[in-house]
A and B are shown apart, each in its own frame.
Chain A
Amino acid sequence: MEVVNQKSALLSNYEVLTLLRELENDHLARTRTALRIKKEEEAAGIARTHAPPEEVLENLRTVEVEAIQHLSAEYQPTSSQSEAGIERLTRSLAAYDLTKAEKLQIVNLAPTEAVELYVIVEELEDRLGGQLDDILTAVRESLTSTPVAERSTEENAVEEIVYQAGEAEDYEGWDANDMVFDDTGEGAGVEGDLDVDDD
């Protein structure tokens, strides 16, 4: 083993979370297919002689699950962040005299209050005294507003359940339905009724 470059690039929390979620979904999909194939073969009465041994990457699974838990916890801003939002934010941050590390931390922590920004940026007053509120506004604009964020985490939860139930195909349709539900702006109380309608 040889380390070519210890620090070739910095990654934001959101990027890591997206990567880990992809891995997780891959893993779930693969275990599901494996299970289905096994069942089908059992039903057909074929004995598996040349099957490769089931490999579970224990360490990867551990760190994956724990990191996803930490990065998507409700105290992290990741739930209300989106790829487009972050892109917009980094564009608008380019206008200010910030270092790369400071920009990364603004993306990671999404400070919406001055106190938080003071911690991240050194000598904030002297360097960007007047632009403070502009930065905070830019951050706020990059985040989807809180109620939507809460709903989107709910959606995620639903997605996962759907995934586990093994109906990956239905998931697209579900999303579309949910969007319609979003637009009507009705309370959560009618969700059950809507589900019945969907069926």
Chain B
Amino acid sequence: MFVLSILKDTVAVHPSQFGLPPEQALTNELNKKYANKVLHDVGLCICVFDISEAGEGKVRYGDGFLWYKVVFRMVVFRPFASEVMLAKVKSSDEDGIRLSVGFFDDMYVPLVYLPEPCAFDPNERAHFWLPGSEATSSHELLDSPTVNRMYIDAGEIVRVRVEADEFYDDEPGPPKALEGVQQTGQLENRRSPYTITCSLAEQGLGPVSWWKDAGVEAMDEG
């Protein structure tokens, strides 16, 4: 799930921080800048792991800051393709399931990656899997007795395989002025910068409880 990325940056340390040991002040600055942010094509930064190289702090004309050139290692959340991980079901709708790992929740399971045959139950607002059923259309599946259905409820812990990840770097467009009033806070059609597509369609994936105490025999059946 996590990787170490080596990054290089120039950091300014405010004079009020001169009392701290320089590495502590630099780590603070770097954490302030990067922690909990998505770096394009790198991943979600968690925190600074360590500083591998730092130049002499220099004072520029015009401010009292000490400017350091720093090479540091960052703990980054970037699960690789085909990695198996545990996540929690955040919500479900007709288009699929949204997962969360607490600090990151732009993880989606689209319909194609749900175990077959599968249907969405609008009453329960959850997808269910009907193992061993011949039914193909969702109407037939919804006619099935509720007892046999295996629901993927919100809040359940699921084992998922990471299929793909995507980064979006949307630039904010020009500010829209409606009747001379600037519109602010238009966040509706902003894509999240980093999304992970996951799969549940495999033996052993899905809610952890499904596979508890399931032996190899069960594997062969499926």
Which residues of A are at the interface with B, using a C-beta cutoff of 8 A?
Answer: 1-13, 15-16, 19-20, 23, 52-53, 55, 57, 59-60, 62-64, 66-67, 69-70, 75-76, 101, 105, 108-109, 113-116, 118-120
Contact = CB atoms under 8 A, between A and B. Distances in A.
Given A75-B157, A105-B84, A114-B219, 20 more contacts: A1-B7, A3-B6, A4-B6, A4-B8, A10-B2, A11-B4, A13-B1, A52-B17, A55-B32, A57-B35, A60-B36, A63-B103, A64-B46, A108-B85, A109-B85, A115-B203, A115-B218, A115-B219, A118-B203, A119-B205
Classify the secondary structure of A's interface with B. helix
Interface stretch (B117-125, B180-188, B209-217): B209-217
Given A19-B49, A64-B47, A120 B6 contact: no
B93 interface: no
A16 B3 CA distance: 10
A143 B35 CA distance: 31
Contact of B28 (A57, A75, A114): A57
Interface of B: 1-9, 16-17, 19, 28, 31-32, 35-37, 39, 41-42, 46-47, 49, 71, 73, 75, 78, 80, 82-86, 101-103, 157, 159, 161, 202-205, 208, 211-216, 218-219
Contact of A76 (B32, B42, B86, B216): B86
Contacts of A70: 101-103
Classify the secondary structure of B's interface with A. mixed
Contacts of B102: 66-67, 69-70
Given A60-B31, A119-B204, A109 B84 contact: yes
17 contacts: A1-B8, A4-B7, A4-B71, A8-B4, A8-B5, A13-B1, A64-B35, A66-B102, A67-B103, A75-B157, A101-B80, A105-B83, A105-B84, A108-B85, A109-B84, A109-B159, A119-B159
A79 to B, nearest CB: 13
A8 B6 contact: yes
A59 to B, nearest CB: 4
B42 A3 contact: yes
B84 A59 contact: no
Contacts of B212: 113
Nearest to A11: B2
Q: Most chain-B Cβ atoms within 10 A of its Cβ — which of A4, A63, A75, A101?
A: A63
